[in-house]
Structures are given as C-alpha cells and as structure tokens.
Structure 1
C-alpha cells in the first residue's frame, strides 16, 4: 500500500495509563499496521520496554513516551495504575489531564486522521478544535458502557441499569452502592465525578469503538446505538498471538504436565486486582477443598512482600504435591493451552474474558470491580459459558464453600451445569475461531472509519 494521505490512515492513540488499556490499544495498532496504516501510541517511559515486544510492526507503530506531570499527593514514581492504589487513581487521572498542552503540540505536528482515547473528557473537544476525528476506544464491553448511563441514587434504580437496558444483567446491591460513589464522588484536581468524565468522553466523541463482535454482545451494542445516535464501530475479537520465544517456566511446565488432561485449575486475576488477606485465604481454602491440582497467580495482598508469606496456616504443606501459589506474572495464554489445564478461574477483565472464551477450559468467574461484574454476568447469565462464584448480595464477599462449589459444578463428571456451559462455550469458541472472522471485522472497522472522514 502506498504511503499517501489518501490510502494510509494515521491514528494517534492515548489510552488510560494501565496495562489493561495499553495492550488492547497496541493489539489494535498491530491490526492497523498489518494493513499499512500508521499509529502513534502515547506511553510512559518505563512502560515502553514492556510493550515493545508486542509491537509486530515497528516501522508502522511509533511509541511516544511522555512524562507524568507532578501532582500534589501523587508519588513521583507513579506512571500507571499498577504503581498506585485505586484510592489515588484520581490523582493519576488529574496528572494526565495536565498533559493536554503536550498532546495538543503533538497533534499539531503529526496531523493524524484520528485520535483514539478513553477516560479523558477533554480529548473530543481538543480534537474537534484541531479538525481531527475522535474515537472513544473502549477496553470494556458494550454491556459495561451501557450501564454507565444509569441515573438515580437508590439501589433499586441502579441494579437494573438505565431505561431500555437489556434485562439479562443486574448488579448486586453492594456493587450498586459502589456505583453511587461513581456518580457522586468528585475527583481531586478535576473536580468532576468519574461518571461525568466517562460520559463526556463518550458522548462528545465522533464515534465509539469496541474490540468485540455483535454476535457475542448484540443486544448491548444495539442499546448503545439507539442511545448515543452516533457510529458504533466493532473491531472484532482480538487476542494476542503468543510470542514465539515466550515459554512457560520449565519447572512449572514439567510440574503441570504430570497431571491428567483437563484436571488442573488455573486462577489469575490480572495485573491490578489485589485481594484483602481474608479474601485470599477463602480463595485458597476453596481450591484446597476441591482436591484438584491448581496453579494460582495473584498479586500479594497490600502490606505483604510476597504472597507466599500470607498463605493459610499449614496450606503449603497440605497442598505441596498438587498446588502452586505464585505472586508474579505468568503467560496466561500459554497456560490455558496446556492439555492438563481444565478450568480457568478469572476476574473477568475484558482481555481475560476473551482469552477464556477462546480457550478449551471450563470457566469460573469471580469478579472484583464494576466492569468485571458486568462482564461476569455476560459470561454466566447471558452467554451461559461459565459459572459464577456465589457472593453476598449485600457485602460482595465470597466463601471457600462458594469457590469450591462453583469449581466442582464446572469440573465434576455428571454435573448438568458443567455440561451446559461446556456446550455453549464450545459453540461460541467455534464461531470465534472461524477462519477470516477477525480480518473481516477489522476490514469493516477501517471502512467505517474512512466514512467518518468523508
């Protein structure tokens, strides 16, 4: 493809500074680059080395590192959400708001066709002033975005979502109370609520994009199309291809290979979920109750240097022949492909949701944040491809018995619930793995983007 303005699109990407946002944006940049388009991706300096191996087309994808402006109360080392607590993330959002002059200068120099962004309520206005099309590119599901438009402060007003929202997903009462905070708590620095930040960024953009397909989330896509009255673009399902040189630690691979096919439970909650000590204990004891082999990869609880320090009394000795608990990152996709792994216990981050759907493992969902809860309900209640760990409606707490029960319902021979989710999972996985699906969706995505420039 010739490098002309007519044929080649230039996309400027400024995601929220979290790994769960960088990676989907970079996967999308790879798709653009595969078709000859050029992408500039804004990143913090220390994060670029972690992302560079995932860039498959370095001639077409350029990282632009920017420093985080100093903000009172935000430690100087903070670059991403992984460096701070959820309570202080409003300060990181404020710091990124202060990058607006830098971003404007870059946009004036680069003159892109589009800016893809999320969470930055000022981006659409800036793009409009510079005559650049803005796309709110979401790393969460259409079902999650639809719920953001909920109004009212009463639990009864919130649990069912906004008027016209498909009735198949409802919030627990404890999460409805969290949503009230989302609606009312004003951020330090910006002085606006998180809901206002989201809705302004979404509603003032020229289009909204998702890395999904309508066959999976159709009714929620239609809800947004009817509500927003603007183009809703679907880039299709995207799961990164495992790097050729990426291998599982040899001792783990050998250890996992000793178990029978589809008997190992794998549990991972992404790079940001941090369980409290009592929740970690309930989770681990639930795994112990199953009597099955397991690999658990989680961040240590706050205030603990390593997860191994915080295991329940006697747990390591009792499970040493069949269990590993690790406090660092593991190559999730490689583990899900192992023949011995038969169950994936996930927090339902959107990336993990798609990796789970495309795996052959039984899915057990245990969400922790608002978007995780919506996506968990999508898997367990709408698509019926996984089983959800029972949690308290009022307090959101789970028990070891609940963890054990969900896993065994998914794994046990003769479990009718397990058979149903496996049938449904097999059906959707077969569709998602269909040859040409990803390319067809992304080609259409690019075509729809071009129409915005006409």
Structure 2
C-alpha cells in the first residue's frame, strides 16, 4: 500500500486548473499521490505546453476524459461547454473511477472536485469514495451562489436567474462587494440560452456540495472576513499562491515565455507595468490599439501578455498601431504567455493591469502589487470591487462614450496609482497578512493541516 491516492477534477478552464494544480502540489508535499483529470482537449494543451515536464511529475499523474464537444468547437462558448459537460462528462467520469478502482491496485482514496464539477462528488459517493469540494474563486461569490434559491424566492431574479429589478444593487452581507445585477455570474457569460444553462448547472452543483464536510476555498480570513463569517461552512486554505513555491508544472494551456524574466532583470526596481488579461478576455481592434497607445503614452517600461487569441478575428500582430513596436523599442516586452507567479514576484514590477480573475488577484496581492482593474466577465467585477473599494489597493478604469478605455485614461490611471504611495503601502500590508495566513499556525495553514489529517485517517 503506497501513499493515499487522490483524484482531482477541475472545471475545464485555465482559472480552475491552475489553483487545483497548485493544491495538488501541496498535497504531494504531504505524501499523497494525485490523479489529475483534465478534459482530452485541455490535457493535450498542457502536454503541448510543458512537454517532458509533464512526464517528470511522478506524484501527479495526468489523465483525461472527453468534454462532450467536437474537436473544432469553441471551448470559450461557456453555454456549449457546460452543456457538453452535463451530458457527457459524468458518464465518462464514472467509467474512469470504475476502471481505476476496479482494475488497479492503487485505488482512489479521495476525490477533490471543483465546486463547478459538484456532480463528480455524487459519483464518488456511489463508489463509497469520500470527497471534498474546492472553490477556486472568492468565498463571497460562493456564498452568493448558495443564495440562488433565495434570490428567486425573494423575487430578486426569476427562475432563469434574470434580475427582476435590473438596476438595484444587491448586498449579501456587510464588508463584501455590492453587486450590480448585470454582473451576476450567469448574466455576464453571454446570451440568454447560456445564462439558463449556467444558472441551472450552478444550482445543481450547489445542491451536490451543500452537505459536504469539507468545502475548501482559495482565500483567507484576512481577505474576506465578511463572506466567511456570513457563510462559515466555507473553509479558507489560501491563498495557495502566498506560499511562494514555484512548481515546474502549473497546468498552463500555453507555453510560458521565460525570456521575460531576463528582461525584467534589466529593469529598475518598481518600474514595470505588468499587463495580462487571463485566458478568456477578447479585445476588439480599437480597444487593442488604445491599450497599446496607452502603454506607449505612459512612458514606462511594460511587460504585456498578448495571447495568440486575444483579438477578435484578426491576428494581433496585424493590429499593433503603425510604428508602435519601433517607438517603444526595448521599453516594451510582448509575450504570448508568461510565468505569472514569477513575474509578479519580481522586484521590478510596479503595478498590474489585470482582468481581475481571482487567481491573478490573489497572486498580485500575495506579492504586494497594486492593481489597475479591467474586468471582462464572470466574477471579475466582484474582484474589482474588493480591490478598489474594500482593500483599496487599486483603481478602476472609466470607459468613454464609445465604451472604450482610451489611451489618455490608461496614462492617467497609471500616474494616479504610481504617484500615490498609499496603494503600494496597503498592498504590502495585505501581502503580510495573507503570507502569515499560510505559514505555520496561520489561520489558513491550520485548516489545511486539519484537512490533511482527515484524509490520512
């Protein structure tokens, strides 16, 4: 009998794979072996991005199952992806568990499932395998999802999640972000069909996890006391990024361009604007060009992550403003994907222009980096509220009459943020709090150790 084997299954999106891979590394440190389940599509992407390093991770075994979509279909269409997951992945997951626990000596002892894959815990229970649910975003957002039935009962939304009073801000509890109905998770993801699919899917998953003994979350008491006091079933074990352990296998879907770290070594301390928008954000050509010109106008060095698919329809190489690359020269560094944890930990970083996904948010604050917030969809508006209104470690951008964040606004907000030392001071204070939470005897560390003991019993 070897180390206990844990099966880990994330929702098939980068912002979910990354923190569950981080958690898997922490579990390996405590003697567990991991079977990590990606979709076939994402499994190929991780293998392509990491090559031999994937094979070298002895205690993390990568496996995959189909996601129910055709090879050429758009996985960024969350309605179709969620529909495929609902119809195909559960039966494929059942087959996988049956295969592993029926034919292999090294059986699965526990299943840790993303809350967004809560159905996997119901299937694990069929095999009498104990499970735990992991939430990769803010505790506030999970508490909000637990309130979906109440939203319907109180006539805040109809049965499909559509707000009945579309302009009234919703406040769940004190010291948490107020939400505009247009930013409800399921509303911001696309059309009405997508909204209905995601709303129903979220309700089913919440039902699957509502009685779990372990509902762990990548947050800390210092970050979200309001939400965690309001919903004490949510157990903070993070931020996982605050441990500052950099692993070779991050689960990234794109190859990480490490040349940017050498470039950062050549920049002055606290001088570089880091610009990255996660795995989903898409820009139209006008907005892409205004961002480029805003970075040029800032007259500061910048590192800009330009994903190959970040612009609609046209390759971004053709969209850079005429003469932009020549004018910025070595002051600007553009990469397709960056080793973000290492970048944010680099002393030359001054601030982070971010889409405000939860992983980027906690990675930035774990390194004491102030933010300029550019949310795109989903939970990113909530995270923007935390950053600007509650923690006060960043500023929001304002859009002009075209709904564009223009170059002058970018230049202005960079100057406001970097000329006011209080943003950096508050960011460093928050870094100290979250770093302490994951250290020995910190609040998150104690909960994590109790979780480990539960699985070793």
Q: TM-score, normalised on structure 1?
A: 0.79
Structure 2 unpaired stretches of 5+: 152-156, 250-254
Q: CA deviation at 1:349?
A: 1.7
- Structure 2 partner of 1:165: 173
Alignment RMSD: 3.8
Kept in 1: contact 2:112–2:131 (CA 8 A): yes
Give the Cα separation in 1 of the matches to 2:181 and 2:114: 31
> Are 2:22 and 1:27 aligned?
yes
- Structure 1 partner of 2:62: 63
Mapping 1:146-157, distance limit 5 Å? 146-148=143-145, 149-150=147-148, 151=151, 152=157, 153-154=162-163, 156=165
Give the Cα separation in 2 of the matches to 1:428 and 1:334: 19
Deviations 1:230-262 (A, max 9, x none): x43222221263358999655x55654554332
Give the Cα separation in 2 of the matches to 1:36 and 1:56: 19
Deviations 1:17-36 (A, max 9, x none): 22222221121112112111
The equivalent position to 2:70 in structure 1, one of 62, 72, 75, is 75
Residues 1:234 and 1:435: Cα distance change in structure 2 (over 3 Å):
closer
Give the Cα separation in 2 of the matches to 1:41 and 1:325: 32
The equivalent position to 1:315 in structure 2, one of 324, 337, 340, is 324
Structure with bigger RCO (C-alpha 8 Å, 6+ apart): 2
Matched residue of 1:398: which SS? Answer: coil
Residues 1:27 and 1:91: Cα distance change in structure 2 (over 3 Å):
same
Deviations 1:341-373 (A, max 9, x none): 312111122221122112243322211122111
Matched residue of 1:112: which SS? Answer: strand
Q: CA deviation at 1:337?
A: 3.6
Residues 1:211 and 1:192: Cα distance change in structure 2 (over 3 Å):
closer
Deviations 1:370-421 (A, max 9, x none): 21111121122111122222347x9975333332222111112xxxxx3222
- Structure 2 partner of 1:447: 450
- Structure 2 partner of 1:228: none
Give the Cα separation in 2 of the matches to 1:425 and 1:205: 34
- Structure 2 partner of 1:288: 296
Residues 1:113 and 1:419: Cα distance change in structure 2 (over 3 Å):
same
Give the Cα separation in 1 of the matches to 2:164 and 2:386: 21
- Structure 2 partner of 1:96: 89
Q: CA deviation at 1:449?
A: 6.3
Matched residue of 1:119: which SS? Answer: helix
Mapping 1:110-121, distance limit 5 Å? 110-121=107-118
The equivalent position to 2:312 in structure 1, one of 272, 290, 302, is 302
Q: TM-score, normalised on structure 2?
A: 0.79
> Are 2:119 and 1:122 aligned?
yes
Deviates more, 1:20-29 or 1:439-448: 439-448
Residues 1:446 and 1:51: Cα distance change in structure 2 (over 3 Å):
farther
Mapping 1:194-205, distance limit 5 Å? 194-203=201-210, 205=212
Structure 1 unpaired stretches of 5+: 226-230, 413-417
Give the Cα separation in 1 of the matches to 2:55 and 2:384: 31
The equivalent position to 1:233 in structure 2, one of 228, 232, 235, is 235
Q: CA deviation at 1:267?
A: 0.4
Q: CA deviation at 1:165?
A: 2.8
Mapping 1:375-390, distance limit 5 Å? 375-390=383-398
- Structure 1 partner of 2:439: 437
Residues 1:126 and 1:292: Cα distance change in structure 2 (over 3 Å):
same
